[in-house]
Amino acid sequence: MNNYDMVYFGNYIDLDLVAGFLSMHLVTWLLFLVMLTNYVKTSNVHSSSAKRAERKEVLKVSVLMFCSYALMIPIEYLVTRFDFSSHYFPYTVYFLLDLFTVLFLCFVMRIRSEKGQLCKRYIVFGLLCNSALFTLIQIDLLLMYSQYKTMEPWWFWSVFTIGINFFDGLIIIVLLINKDVVWLERSNNRWKQQLH
């Protein structure tokens, strides 16, 4: 038994594995709480029907985001259960989930309200940035596995970690408060005005 194992009812528990699972799915848990918060906001009987419709659209978007992130939990379980190993896992799966979520949000869901559109733009922006980071880290890992690079950490790994967490946090905050947090909407409007 090493320092990272613990005996629980006669079984060894790998604390690194538990901490890794909890940290990987912290964003999923936070998206679940945001979804519940948006659900509670839709049940406000004292608000107008237009306000409730706007809140329902934000709820739909937050349900989509929670489902997208929660879908990775059974995929990871199946991969672990069947001892599947690949150089493409998990970053390619994350990339595909983010891409499918963006496509579903853009082409299937009809969002009409102002707050719903704001959340949609932030989610598309955040998920596309995450997808770019997943693609770059996957290429980096494939170069290492193919021995075109040395297997050692470098500055991009820190950029990847900070970037993924920043964009996930940005999505969570925007879904929660429905505000233009980093002036993405304002910058988009200025850019459109300069083009015309």
- 121: tokens are 């733009």
Identity at 143, one-letter amino acid code: L
Lowest mean pLDDT among 8-12, 107-111, 135-139: 8-12
Run of H or E residues at 191: helix 184-195
- 104: tokens are 């579903």
| CA–CA distance, 27 with 71 (Å, rounded to integer) | 12
Asked if the model's pLDDT at residue 19 lies above 80, the reply is no
Phi and psi angles of residue 14, each rounded to the nearest 5 degrees, phi first: -85, 105
Asked if the model's pLDDT at residue 98 lies above 90, the reply is yes
**Residue of 40, 55, 74, 29 lying closest to 172 (CA atoms):** 29
Run of H or E residues at 164: helix 155-177
Asked if the model's pLDDT at residue 133 lies above 60, the reply is yes
Name the residue with higher pLDDT: 5 or 121.
121
What is the pLDDT at residue 194? 82
Banded model confidence at residue 4, pLDDT cuts 50, 70, 90: low
Q: What is the mean pLDDT of the segment spanning 60-67?
A: 97
pTM: 0.84
- Provide Rg for the chain, Cα atoms: 20
What is the pLDDT at residue 184? 83
Asked if the model's pLDDT at residue 167 lies above 90, the reply is yes
| CA–CA distance, 30 with 35 (Å, rounded to integer) | 9
Name the residue with higher pLDDT: 7 or 49.
49
- Count structural domains, the chain: 1
Expressed as residue numbers, the domain containing 43 is 5-195
What is the pLDDT at residue 155? 93
